[in-house]
């Protein structure tokens, strides 16, 4: 599976722009995504504990990004004997939360497993699949075409995500300006 790192970064950044300040973002730690979330919180001047909640499997303790220690609200899930068991346990705990939407970007087989589990556990939540980021999200778009961005080369992530979490794109920019003015 080939994912596009630049488009993944753009999609994650778009999610942060839309959701931060209005929604709490919950995600399973990944060494590439966690630093992006940290930088977005920092750039927007937001309190991390109010903005995000990171779930991390201790199976990957040797690979934790340094940003994990900065969040202060990480749920560390004990490691189990295998990688697959550890990831499943982390996903089970993470998905015990209430969700308005799940956003699926890039990734490998684990993103497919996580999306399937999310749909099973949260059938009323919006599922947002961005196939243009490549990787697993492109496969998911074929599996769930009704939950995917309209076309594979669709790149207007901010407007698309905003449709599902009921926040208009201009409001996201206003939150950033308001946040910067209050600091």
What's the rounded Cα separation, in Å, for the pair 183 and 43? 11
What per-residue confidence (pLDDT) applies to 40? 87
3-state SS assignment for residue 176: helix
Higher pLDDT, 91 or 179: 91
Give me the phi and psi of 74, to 5 degrees please.
-95, 135
What percent of the chain is predicted at pLDDT more than 90?
50
What local confidence, expressed as pLDDT, does residue 82 receive?
A: 98
Beta-carbon contacts of 163 under 8 Å, excluding residues fewer than 6 positions away, are none
Q: What is the mean pLDDT of the chain?
A: 86
> Is residue 131 a contact partner of residue 148, using CB atoms and an 8 Å limit?
yes
Give the tens place of pLDDT for each residue, 130-167. 999 999 999 999 999 888 887 666 788 988 888 888 66
Tell me the per-residue pLDDT of 28-46, one tens digit each, with 9 for 90 and over: 988 888 888 888 888 888 8
């Amino acid at each position: 599976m080939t994912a596009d790192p630049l488009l993944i970064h753009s999609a994650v950044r778009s999610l942060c722009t839309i959701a931060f300040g209005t929604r709490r973002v919950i995600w399973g730690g990944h060494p590439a995504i966690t630093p992006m979330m940290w930088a977005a919180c920092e750039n927007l001047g937001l309190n991390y504990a109010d903005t995000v909640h990171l779930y991390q499997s201790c199976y990957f303790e040797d690979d934790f990004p340094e940003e994990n220690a900065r969040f202060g609200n990480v749920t560390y899930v004990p490691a189990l004997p295998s990688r697959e068991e550890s990831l499943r346990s982390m996903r089970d705990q993470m998905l015990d939360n209430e969700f308005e939407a799940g956003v699926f970007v890039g990734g490998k087989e684990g993103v497919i497993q996580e999306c399937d589990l999310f749909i099973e556990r949260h059938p009323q939540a919006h599922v947002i699949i961005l196939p243009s980021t490549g990787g697993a999200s492109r496969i998911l778009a074929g599996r769930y075409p009704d939950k995917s961005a309209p076309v594979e080369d669709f790149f207007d992530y901010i407007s698309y995500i905003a449709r599902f979490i009921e926040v208009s794109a201009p409001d996201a920019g206003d939150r950033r300006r308001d946040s910067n003015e209050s600091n």
